[in-house]
Amino acid sequence: MLAEELVLFLRQGWIGSLPESQLSLAQRLQHHQVLTHPAVFSAFASTDRSWFTQDPQPYANLPHALAGGEKMTIPSMHVLALEVLRPCVGPETKKVLDLGCGAGYLTHCLGKMAPNGQILGIDINQRLIEQALLVPNAPANVSFRRADVKEIIDDEYDAIHVGFNITHALSAELSMKLRTGGLLWAPVMSADDQSVAVCLIDKEGGSKKVIDMEYSPLRQPSADFEEKLKAIEQEIKGIYEDLQKRLGKSITLKDFPPKLPILLKERKILMAKIKRLSS
């Protein structure tokens, strides 16, 4: 567990003036002892957050807007992840996976820290992958592709970073893809889904809590949403058919059961999600 003072700093925005550059942001984090290792400082200071977001204040210790309504993780948490994974990310590293990479900020940093390794960033959101591919100054050893977590090939990684909330079962599955001595950084949901703790997990399943911090929800593939949409539409159709059989007349709003407006709202939400993932 981190010291209480550090946890408070990681969760808050800046007090006082905002850093005006990536270098001053790195120096601010170094001053607060969040950023401590030279390799992390070099990678972070040379990867400008303004390349990844149009936010007018890219150096604030806050989430920043990305394509499709997604958010980029706050800089202090990016640095903490790099510091914690650093023992497994260096010149001897062969493979690193950034799962839920978004626009690829952390993927870039990992590529600089492991210049001789292959760094793969994947995300289910096609718009984010397209944005990641357009970001300038990408290290040559970094690549991106759209994929679902279920599509991860059987491979071994020196380190895996997860950028969204996952279940305990999924964290156990991902830990099996680590090399001996490898580490998994993952925000793991509690059994009752009421809280999230970022954990550092090894190949044997040993887990150490780093900090209580919630990330973005687990991103589901459009196929999952389409299956749910199909089920809802079938239920809506069944309600209409039942009303027509029972009433034998033109249906009016007052005839609708209370459940129907709820189903129609869920249908609208699912359709919007499918459109966002496919655009």
Give the mean model confidence (pLDDT) for residues 9-31. 80
pTM of the full structure = 0.76
Helix/strand/coil percent split, the chain, to 5 = 45, 20, 35
- 196-215 pLDDT, tens digit per residue, is 889 999 998 899 999 888 78
Tally of CB atoms within 10 A around 78: 23
Biggest CA–CA distance in the chain, Å, is 76
What is the C-alpha separation between 35 and 94, in angstroms, rounded?
Answer: 24
Place of tokens 């003072």: 5
Give the mean model confidence (pLDDT) for residues 160-167. 92
What is the C-alpha separation between 101 and 99, in angstroms, rounded?
Answer: 5
Amino acid at 222: S
Tally of CB atoms within 10 A around 106: 29
What is the C-alpha separation between 77 and 51, in angstroms, rounded?
Answer: 18
- 244-271 pLDDT, tens digit per residue, is 888 776 777 778 888 888 888 888 887 8
